[in-house]
Amino acid sequence: MSDVEQTLSIIKPDAVERDLQNKIKDEFIKSGFTIIKEKKIHITKIEAEEFYKVHQTKPFYNDLCEYLSSGPIFVMILEKFNAILDNRELMGATDPKKADEGTIRKKYGVSIDKNSVHGSDSSENAKKEIQFFFKD
Ligand code: CDP
Ligand code: MG
């Protein structure tokens, strides 16, 4: 059963570099999300490795961690009814080329690695990821 949920969203370096953060935040707000907390940070590669630990055996892991730590990012707690799945839908497929029209990755993503946004994929991961960036 769906409920009011919180999910972790990241506006990734490729989007911040192109100054797209306000446009992307507007997408969330227009879709009914409330931004509960947000901060602009620049994480280290070690922190990126910790955050993306689930992917440590994947061939793209090293590049992914280099990339997420390559420049400033916006991390946000988004809240809404059914937030986790609805955010994944709003983001679109991992590869912007395969993402549906109207999704954030279709509109702003550059490539499968520079795909502009991250969103938690399950309730368990949302809790972990929120805790990772917002410990208080
Ligand atoms: O972000 P999402 O949950 O849609 O995808 P993922 O499978 O959890 O992968 C995490 C991130 O790794 C993606 O968002 C991409 O930035 C990156 N990735 C990549 O660079 N090359 C791939 N073949 C797959 C993912
Ligand atoms: Mg994922």
Atom of ligand 1 lying closest to residue 121 CA: 3
Quote the CA–CA distance of 124 and 57 in Å, as a whole number.
20
- Residue with CA nearest ligand 1 atom 6: 94
Residue 34's pLDDT is: 98
Structural tokens at position 104: 């954030």
Residues annotated as part of the active site: 118
Q: Domain count for the chain, please give it.
A: 1
Map residue 92 onto helix, strand or coil: coil
pTM exceeding 0.95: yes
Which ligand has the minimum distance to the alpha carbon of residue 66?
A: 1
Instruction: List residues near ligand 1 (CB under 6 A).
Output: 55, 60, 64, 94, 112-113, 115, 118, 121
Q: How far is the CA of 97 from the centre of ligand 1 (A)?
A: 13
Question: What is the domain range of residue 68?
Answer: 4-133
Q: How far is the CA of 108 from the centre of ligand 2 (A)?
A: 18
Question: Which is nearest to 74 in space by CA: 3, 120, 13, 29?
Answer: 13
Residue type, 59: P
- List of the chain residues with pLDDT < 50: none
The conformation of residue 100, written as its DSSP 8-state character, comes to P
Residue 104's pLDDT is: 98
Which ligand has the minimum distance to the alpha carbon of residue 68?
A: 1
The answer to whether 94 and 12 have CB atoms below 8 angstroms apart is no
CATH, residue 68: 3.30.70.141
Residue 88's pLDDT is: 98
Q: How far is the CA of 81 from the centre of ligand 1 (A)?
A: 25
Quote the CA–CA distance of 36 and 68 in Å, as a whole number.
22
Residue 1's pLDDT is: 58
Residue type, 128: K
